[in-house]
Structure 1
Amino acid sequence: MITNPSTSQLVRSVSTELRAKVLPELTDPALLVEVEMMLSMLDMAAVRADHEIAWMMQEADGIDTALSEAAVEGELPAPVRDALHALQLSRPADLTYPEVQRHYGLASEALARAADQAHAGDERLRSLAWSLLEGRVDHELATIGAYVAVGRSENQT
């Protein structure tokens, strides 16, 4: 029984039922792999449902802070400065996914421009962009969880 029906709990409940009732009945190896892939996606969706808005806001704030500090320490290239300015003018009107995603998109654009400048040889932005990208990878790894090679014989039950 689900007493607190959050999105993640609903998704996990479906996943649990599929694992317990459907997966054991499958005999077709190709279909088994497809269902395992779907279950993996459900697991990732459950994690994202719990954390995605917070992660997007944390990353956007981190990008804003890091680039603002870089701007204080020296002149930012115009494309980065313009993207940072657009980000700083943006605040989500609320915490709905579309609003947060719009804001996160502006932060991602600022990060992309900083990474482009770093790749073009701006050493000052290189470690900054790398650090911000590592934070993004950390969130992706938290979403993915333990890696399971779907369809591999050692993962079969």
Structure 2
Amino acid sequence: MIVLPTTSQLLRDVRNELAHTVAPEVHGAVARVALEQIDIILEQCAVRSADEIAWMAEEISEMLAYADDVAAATGDEATAAALVAARSNAAGTLHLDDMAHDYTLTSEALSCALEACMADPDQSELLRRGVEILRLRRAERETVVRANWRLVGRG
């Protein structure tokens, strides 16, 4: 019985069933490699499904704040326009597709802000902050998602 029916838990239950019921019955090398690949993908999906919306909401907030600061400091029109587009076209719901849409719009504001900082030598501190947003948030979270990544069928 599944007492915690989140998407993440359901995916992990499928992984468990594959590992303990199906895998022992699979004897062909190609099929075993395919099963391992499926296991990796299911685990990555489980990790993402548990946290992806929260991660996007946090990053959207952080990117908007950063782009606001850059627009105020530089007067960059592209950053200001991207901020207006991100805010006026935001879906504003927690549905995954809507969050991904909002994230894409906000990422454009971040991109414009970074470009504005690169073009202005006086904005080196703001540029460092923008790079940290990319490095610490996006890269760290991809590392979490891919933590169990391994090459299968090698060795």
Q: Does 1:101 align with 2:100?
A: yes
How many angstroms does 1:15 deviate by? Answer: 0.7
Q: How does 1:1-157 map to 2 (within 5 A)?
A: 1-72=1-72, 74-117=73-116, 121-123=119-121, 124=123, 126-134=127-135, 135-153=137-155
Structure 2, gaps ≥5 residues long: none
Residue type matched to 1:137 in 2? Answer: A
Residue type matched to 1:58 in 2? Answer: E
More moved, 10-19 vs 99-108: 99-108
Superposition RMSD on alpha carbons, in Å?
Answer: 2.1
CA, structure 1 residues 26+71, in 2 after alignment: closer, same or farther (shift >3 Å)? same
The separation in 1 between residues aligned to 2:152 and 2:110, in whole angstroms, is 33
CA, structure 1 residues 122+67, in 2 after alignment: closer, same or farther (shift >3 Å)? same
Residue type matched to 1:75 in 2? Answer: T
How many angstroms does 1:45 deviate by? Answer: 0.6
CA, structure 1 residues 93+107, in 2 after alignment: closer, same or farther (shift >3 Å)? closer
How many angstroms does 1:108 deviate by? Answer: 1.5
Normalised to the residue count of structure 2, the TM-score between the two structures is 0.84
C-alpha contact (below 8 Å) 1:64/1:88 kept by paired residues: no
How many angstroms does 1:78 deviate by? Answer: 2.4
> Percent identity over the alignment?
30
Matched residues, number: 151
CA, structure 1 residues 20+88, in 2 after alignment: closer, same or farther (shift >3 Å)? same
Residue by residue over 1:20-70, the C-alpha shift from the partner in whole angstroms, topping out at 9 and shown as x without a partner, is 122222222222222111110100111111101001111111100111122
Structure 1, gaps ≥5 residues long: none
